[in-house]
């Protein structure tokens, strides 16, 4: 699907002004108030004022207290994926505003059907499951407006039911309903949405989501976007926690540190320098500290993480045949490669490949070891680290990432390869690395189903931290496999070439991540990426990882695509 919306700014300046005036006139007409100065306007895919959605904006002004609603819309600008949440909120507002206004303006019926058909047309030719969750919900809402109905997964059905606000709700009730949806289904808490209070860090959302799909006209606020352009992410959301408070907060949410405070300080002094100066690191096995937790946001995070583990397991079990086939095929590919490229010896065994010249030993000496099998001559050959992007930009694909990580871990374990699986995210200026299973823990592959997405992603520092862990191993041949959407985005700024502090995203974030990958490779670590993101981020992925990049469109491709690159990398070691 091609890009579905041009920003109005892509039109000429004169056309922009014309479309802004037209949108304003449509809003005035629907609101019945020509003294309004609307801050939100709707534009279609080409940047032109959309008749139906601007009528809805006007209806919201007419029937509700727009200032109350606007405060939540503005607050969503603080949140990664904020534009998607705004779009969901407008879908709910459309439902109640239409029901309030249609009696007075019967023409809205036809306008709504036309708008709904345009939403449906933009999704034509695509599998619904390939759409982001936000657009699936919006698409189903407008399908139902046309009298059609498609089945949604139970969780999304509940979101849509909650989102289709009834017309009798007050403005305050609409806002509270939307906050409940954000908290219950997306892990966004009130602390994240309070623009007026920076006393607390926002709760667990990270990585501005870049969606290929943007169904229908988008309602945008030029005023808010202008403010956002001037204010850096750090200014908006870092809050006022002391380092000690932040460390305690992170430990309560993700687990206690693997290292003592002194060891952590030494590691930070070594790694948190140059572009990452002032950052903090937290390495954890996920072991939560004992004692009662009273922080509401910590409790919400723990609950969400527990529910996500259940969702990950269910997703894997629902596709158990395809997943097991992927394990079998990947195991075969890697095992064959190891036999060819790594130093193995043949030892006598009671099972394996028949050793014909030794058959006499079984007859005359009663020696059952008439078979031979491969055995590694040393346990210092090959290790594999699997590093999962655990930022909130992965929210809509958590189950897939967990399943792919398990397939990798299980396949490598069956090949006798030591494997470690970790994930990373960042909260405030602290980057968290969680280790689910370590090299020797061959019975802990299922621990990766505890993977859940949260926070932002400072990819360069996470790769640097992974490099630190790798440098402490005795393995001669090391392979790092990342599962990432390759969209670095963190609240703590980074200096550009001129020394100016800029947001850790886009060009600067990609360049920093690419430099860390190159550093790993110079140290003899082979690096590859299983790309989990959207089409728009593929150039970033190629710049960071080069040719060692795999994009998986379905689980049936996983073994062949990933196995091919693993085999090539092992062969080149």
**Structural domains of the chain sorted by starting position, each given as residue range(s) with its CATH number in brackets:** 8-237 (no CATH), 254-286+320-332+379-572 (3.40.50.410), 345-376 (no CATH)
Q: What does DSSP say about strands 477-484 and 353-354: parallel, antiparallel, or unpaired?
A: unpaired
Q: Above pLDDT 70, what percent of the chain?
A: 81
Q: Would you state the structure tokens that stand for residue 104, as one six-digit string?
A: 């007075």
Burial 432-455 (b: 16+ CB within 10 A, else e): bbbbbbbeebbeebbbbbbbbbbb
| Mean pLDDT, rounded, for 51-75 | 92
Cβ pair 16, 8 in contact under 8 A: yes
Q: What is the pLDDT of residues 428-476, one digit of tens each?
A: 899 999 999 999 999 999 999 999 998 889 999 999 999 999 998 888 8
DSSP 376: E
In angstroms, the Cα distances linking 5 to 50, 119, 453, 471 are 12, 12, 28, 46
Among the residues of 415-472, which ranges form H helices?
Answer: 459-471
Q: What is the pLDDT of residues 511-525, one digit of tens each?
A: 999 999 999 999 999
* Closest to 504 in 3D by CA, of 10, 220, 190, 80: 80
Q: Would you state the structure tokens that stand for residue 37, as one six-digit string?
A: 């100065």
Nearest-angstrom CA–CA distance, 426 and 424: 7
DSSP 456: B
Burial 101-121 (b: 16+ CB within 10 A, else e): bbeeeeebeebbeebbebbbe
Q: Would you state the structure tokens that stand for residue 312, as one six-digit string?
A: 């990950």
Nearest-angstrom CA–CA distance, 440 and 436: 12
Cβ pair 154, 185 in contact under 8 A: no
Nearest-angstrom CA–CA distance, 248 and 245: 5
For 52, what's the count of Cα atoms within 13 Å in the CB-facing half-sphere? Answer: 25
pTM of the model: 0.60
Question: Which pLDDT band, with edges at 50, 70 and 90, does 394 fall under?
Answer: confident
List 527's β-bridge partners, or say none.
Answer: 480
> What burial class does residue 395 get, using C-beta atoms within 10 Å of its C-beta: 0-12 exposed, 13-18 middle, 19+ buried?
buried
Q: What is the pLDDT of residues 537-546, one digit of tens each?
A: 899 999 999 9
- Which residues, in sequence order, are CB contacts of 177 under 8 Å at separation 6+? 92, 162, 165, 169
Nearest-angstrom CA–CA distance, 288 and 188: 22
* Closest to 445 in 3D by CA, of 386, 495, 400, 389: 386
List 388's β-bridge partners, or say none.
Answer: 423, 483
Q: Would you state the structure tokens that stand for residue 486, as one six-digit string?
A: 């390759």
Q: What is the pLDDT of residues 280-295, one digit of tens each?
A: 999 999 999 998 888 8
Cβ pair 421, 405 in contact under 8 A: yes
Residue 572: per-residue pLDDT: 74
């Amino acid at each position: 699907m091609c890009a579905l919306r041009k920003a109005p700014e892509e039109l000429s300046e004169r056309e922009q002004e014309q479309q802004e005036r037209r949108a304003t006139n449509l809003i005035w007409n629907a609101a019945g108030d020509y003294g309004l100065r609307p801050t939100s306007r709707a534009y279609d895919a080409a940047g032109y004022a959309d008749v139906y959605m601007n009528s809805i904006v006007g209806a919201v002004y007419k029937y509700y207290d727009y200032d109350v609603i606007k405060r939540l819309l503005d607050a969503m600008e603080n949140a990664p994926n904020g534009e998607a949440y705004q779009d969901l909120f407008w879908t709910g507002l459309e439902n109640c505003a239409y029901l309030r206004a249609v009696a007075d303006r019967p023409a809205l019926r036809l306008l709504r059907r036309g708008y709904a058909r345009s939403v449906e047309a933009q999704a034509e030719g695509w599998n619904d499951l390939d759409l982001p969750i936000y657009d699936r919900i919006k698409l189903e809402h407008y399908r139902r407006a046309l009298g059609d109905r498609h089945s949604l997964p139970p969780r999304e059905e509940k979101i849509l039911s909650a989102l289709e606000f009834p017309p009798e709700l007050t403005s305050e009730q609409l806002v509270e309903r939307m906050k409940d949806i954000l908290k219950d289904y997306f892990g966004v808490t009130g602390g994240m949405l309070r623009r007026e209070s920076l006393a607390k860090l926002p709760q667990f959302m990270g990585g501005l989501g870049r969606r290929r799909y943007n169904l229908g006209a988008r309602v945008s606020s030029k005023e808010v976007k202008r403010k956002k352009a001037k204010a850096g992410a750090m200014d908006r959301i870092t809050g006022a926690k002391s380092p000690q408070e932040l460390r305690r907060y992170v430990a309560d949410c993700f687990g206690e540190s693997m290292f003592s405070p002194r060891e952590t300080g030494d590691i930070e002094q070594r790694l948190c320098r140059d572009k990452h100066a002032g950052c903090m690191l937290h390495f954890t096995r996920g072991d939560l500290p004992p004692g009662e937790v009273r922080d509401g946001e910590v409790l919400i995070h723990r609950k969400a993480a527990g529910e996500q583990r259940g969702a990950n397991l269910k997703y894997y079990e629902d596709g158990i045949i395809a997943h097991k086939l992927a394990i079998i095929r990947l195991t075969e590919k890697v095992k064959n490669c190891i036999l060819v490229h790594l130093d193995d010896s043949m030892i006598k065994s009671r099972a394996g490949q028949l050793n014909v010249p030794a058959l006499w030993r079984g007859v005359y000496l009663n020696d059952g070891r008439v078979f031979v099998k491969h055995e590694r001559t040393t346990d210092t050959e090959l290790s594999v680290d699997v590093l999962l992007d655990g930022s909130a930009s992965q929210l809509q694909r958590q189950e897939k990432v967990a399943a792919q990580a398990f397939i990798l871990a299980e396949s490598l374990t069956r090949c006798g390869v030591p494997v470690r699986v970790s994930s990373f995210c960042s909260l405030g200026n602290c980057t968290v690395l969680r280790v689910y299973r370590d090299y020797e823990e061959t019975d802990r592959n299922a621990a990766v189903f505890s993977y859940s997405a949260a926070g932002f992603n400072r990819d360069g520092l996470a790769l640097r931290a992974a490099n630190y862990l790798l440098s402490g191993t005795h393995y001669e041949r090391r392979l790092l496999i990342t599962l990432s959407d390759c969209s670095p985005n963190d609240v703590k700024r980074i200096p550009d070439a001129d020394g100016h502090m800029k947001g850790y995203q886009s060009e600067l974030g990609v360049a920093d991540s690419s430099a860390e990958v190159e550093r790993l490779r110079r140290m003899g670590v082979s690096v590859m990426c299983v790309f989990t993101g959207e089409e728009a981020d593929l150039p970033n992925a190629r710049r960071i990882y080069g040719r060692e990049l795999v994009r998986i469109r379905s689980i049936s491709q996983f073994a062949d695509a990933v196995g091919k690159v693993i085999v090539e990398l092992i062969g080149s070691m």
